[in-house]
């Protein structure tokens, strides 16, 4: 069933899928938020990395985030299965403009876990600790800066 959900475009992301591991597409890049603060950001490029997300991690350092990179614009869904702490979820369009901010998303306590989606199509998703979006002036319409490795 999981593969049919993936094929249907509802990607179970965020805090989801197996045992903890280092992302295969690993890479950490600087990501500049609207406040000017720079977060060291783990890239989630491969399907397995996006599916794993923050799953099973006990915490995320205050100056860290995850950046999910997708092949195209879509209503990329995020869920909080097996996540242990609340996060802020930020969706960006292809120009890195913020199209949706969902703050303080709680961990999923029981199946079925809800899926969080943007109201507009997005190309990127950022996950950061709950409260970071507000603190760093992450609001709809502002822009986030980063450069992806080639």
CATH architecture designation of domain 2-135: Sandwich (2.60)
User: Quick one: pLDDT at residue 26?
Assistant: 57
User: Quick one: pLDDT at residue 17?
Assistant: 36
The H or E element spanning position 57 is none
Mean of the pLDDT values across residues 94-122?
96
Rounded CA gap, 134 and 104, in Å? 10
User: Per-residue pLDDT for 15 more than 70?
Assistant: no
Please count the CA atoms within 13 angstroms of the CA of 149 that sit on its side-chain side: 12
User: Per-residue pLDDT for 9 more than 60?
Assistant: no
* Most confidently predicted of 12-16, 77-81, 136-140: 136-140
User: Per-residue pLDDT for 21 more than 90?
Assistant: no
Which of residues 123 and 47 earns the better pLDDT score? Answer: 123
Average pLDDT, the chain: 85
User: Per-residue pLDDT for 88 more than 70?
Assistant: yes
Nearest-CA neighbor of 66 among 36, 100, 40? 40
User: Quick one: pLDDT at residue 120?
Assistant: 96
Mean of the pLDDT values across residues 65-80?
94
19-28, 34-43, 77-86, 131-140, range with the lowest pLDDT:
19-28
Asked whether the beta carbons of 36 and 143 are under 8 A apart, the reply is no
Q: Where do the domains of the chain lie?
A: 2-135
Rounded CA gap, 30 and 145, in Å? 9
pTM for the model: 0.83
User: Quick one: pLDDT at residue 19?
Assistant: 34
């Amino acid at each position: 069933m999981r593969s049919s959900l993936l094929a249907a475009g509802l990607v179970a992301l965020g805090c989801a899928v197996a045992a903890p591991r280092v992302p295969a597409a690993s890479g950490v890049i600087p990501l500049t938020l609207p406040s000017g603060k720079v977060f060291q950001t783990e890239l989630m490029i491969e399907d397995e990395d996006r599916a794993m997300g923050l799953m099973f991690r006990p915490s995320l350092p205050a100056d860290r985030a995850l950046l999910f990179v997708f092949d195209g614009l879509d209503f990329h869904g995020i869920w909080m299965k097996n996540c242990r702490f609340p996060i802020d979820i930020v969706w960006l369009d292809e120009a890195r403009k913020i199209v949706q901010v969902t703050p303080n998303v709680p961990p999923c306590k029981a199946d079925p876990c809800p899926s969080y989606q943007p109201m507009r199509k997005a190309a990127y998703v950022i996950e950061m600790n709950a409260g970071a979006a507000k603190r760093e002036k992450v609001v709809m319409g502002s822009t986030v800066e980063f450069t992806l490795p080639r």
